[in-house]
């Protein structure tokens, strides 16, 4: 009996350990499955909680109301405030969807059918930045406006720079009729990347200078990608065409430690930058909010 007691007591912990290990092996697949389900369900289309209320309000309006399929999770979609009693800029019927965060910040989506079409705003999906100028060197993004079909849309923040530019772009990219009812809430960050076409080769002029005219329009930079030669002087002429919001400010880099900012004071203004690139590589240029972005390639 005494010889058997130690043997008996030594088996109990081993048995408990085996049960614990078995439980862990069962639990791990369940946790992995739950995590996978969370990621899939977080990105799977589902019904917009505000769709029914928006459709009810739409009955009073002469256009189809659009809602964003994507909206960052910090906004509470189900508690959206819907207003139809405020007129548009020229007295038009207008709807406002006010999405709030838990901290009280708001994103207001205003939609109306303009009584008189502005030729500068009739091109669908052209986006214009709304900024508050802090200094001559800095402005803060407070929203954006665009035209979708015949409907004018304005997105405004209660606080400057409430969202990253790429988040705002994704909201605008996913605007669709409330009748679709489906929404998508991404749990991954929006990639801060963009692609450009092949570069426009800038020739060397008779004066030995590579001269390029960079024009910013509501659609972006032209050229959005250009190539110059290393150790050859460059003359960059910066101009704007149309209403470009904060696009009148160009942050331009030509070497790792060489950059400057050009600001156009008016639509007819132009700025000239002369430099000699001393490093080969790709150098990005953009406006302060990355709404307009381009690339200069310096070749050997």
Q: How many residues are recorded in the chain?
A: 300
Measured between alpha carbons, how far is 256 from 228 in angstroms, rounded to an integer? 16
Q: Is the peptide bond before 174 cis (omega within 30 degrees of 0)?
A: no
According to the model, what pLDDT value does residue 146 have?
87
Nearest one of 112, 202, 195 to 153, comparing CA atoms: 112
Q: What is the mean pLDDT of the chain?
A: 80
Share of the chain above pLDDT 90, in %: 43
Distances in Å between the alpha carbon of 76 and those of 71, 101, 104, 141, 168? Answer: 9, 6, 10, 22, 16
Asked whether residue 142 carries a pLDDT value surpassing 60, the answer given is yes
Max Cα distance, the chain (Å): 109
CATH of 46-183, one of 3.30.200.100, 3.30.70.20, 3.40.1160.10, 2.30.42.10: 3.30.200.100
According to the model, what pLDDT value does residue 8 have?
44
According to the model, what pLDDT value does residue 179 have?
75
According to the model, what pLDDT value does residue 6 have?
46
Domain boundaries, the chain: 46-183, 200-299
- pLDDT tens digits, 187-202: 334 444 456 789 999 9
Segment 217-239 mean pLDDT: 94
- pLDDT tens digits, 10-49: 445 566 666 666 666 666 655 555 544 444 344 455 678 8
Range in 158-162, 223-227, 248-252 the model is least confident about: 158-162
According to the model, what pLDDT value does residue 186 have?
43
Q: Is this model's pTM higher than 0.85 or not?
A: no
Query: Which DSSP string do the residues of 159-202 spell out, in sequence order?
Result: STT-S-HHHHHHHHHTEEEGGG-EEB---SPPP------PPEEP
Measured between alpha carbons, how far is 114 from 79 in angstroms, rounded to an integer? 28
CB 277 within 8 A of CB 300: no
Q: Which residue has the higher pLDDT, 259 or 288?
A: 259
Asked whether residue 3 carries a pLDDT value surpassing 50, the answer given is no
Where helices occur in 75-150 by DSSP H, the ranges are none
Between CA 44 and CA 50, with CA 45 as vertex, the angle to 5 degrees is 135
Please give the sequence-ordered ranges of beta strands (E in DSSP) within 77-126, or none if there are none. 81-83, 94-100, 106-112
Q: Dihedral through CA 20, CA 25, CA 29, CA 35, nearest 10?
A: 50
CB 70 within 8 A of CB 175: no
According to the model, what pLDDT value does residue 17 have?
67
Segment 158-162 mean pLDDT: 85
According to the model, what pLDDT value does residue 4 have?
47
Between CA 296 and CA 142, with CA 169 as vertex, the angle to 5 degrees is 100
- pLDDT tens digits, 84-100: 999 999 999 999 999 99
Q: Which residue has the higher pLDDT, 70 or 180?
A: 70
The CATH architecture annotation of domain 200-299 reads Sandwich (2.60)
According to the model, what pLDDT value does residue 20 have?
67
CA 233 from centre of chain: 35
């Amino acid at each position: 009996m005494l010889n058997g007691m130690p043997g008996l007591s030594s088996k109990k912990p081993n048995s408990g350990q085996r049960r614990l290990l078995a439980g862990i092996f069962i639990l791990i697949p369940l946790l992995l499955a739950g995590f996978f389900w969370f990621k899939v369900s977080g990105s799977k289309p589902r019904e917009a909680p505000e769709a029914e209320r928006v459709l009810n309000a739409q009955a009073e309006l002469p256009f189809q109301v659009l809602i964003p399929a994507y909206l960052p999770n910090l906004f509470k979609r189900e508690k959206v405030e819907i207003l139809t009693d405020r007129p548009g800029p020229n007295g038009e019927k207008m709807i406002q969807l006010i999405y709030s965060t838990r901290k009280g910040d708001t994103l207001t989506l205003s939609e109306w059918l303009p009584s008189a079409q502005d030729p500068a705003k009739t091109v669908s999906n052209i986006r214009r930045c709304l900024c508050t100028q802090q200094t001559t060197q800095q402005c803060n993004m407070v929203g954006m406006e665009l035209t979708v079909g015949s409907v004018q849309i304005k997105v405004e923040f209660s606080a400057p720079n409430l969202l990253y530019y790429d988040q705002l772009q994704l909201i605008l990219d996913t605007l669709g009729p409330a009748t679709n009812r489906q929404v998508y809430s991404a749990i991954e960050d929006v990639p801060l990347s963009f692609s450009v076409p092949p570069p426009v080769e800038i020739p060397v002029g008779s004066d030995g200078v590579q001269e390029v005219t960079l024009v910013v329009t509501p659609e972006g930079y032209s050229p959005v990608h250009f190539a110059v030669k290393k150790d050859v002087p460059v003359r960059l002429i910066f101009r704007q065409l149309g209403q470009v919001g904060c696009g009148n400010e160009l942050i331009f880099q030509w070497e790792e430690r060489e950059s400057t900012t050009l600001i156009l004071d008016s639509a007819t203004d132009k700025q000239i930058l002369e430099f000699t690139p001393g490093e080969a590589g790709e150098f990005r240029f953009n406006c302060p909010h990355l709404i307009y972005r381009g690339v200069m390639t310096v070749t050997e």
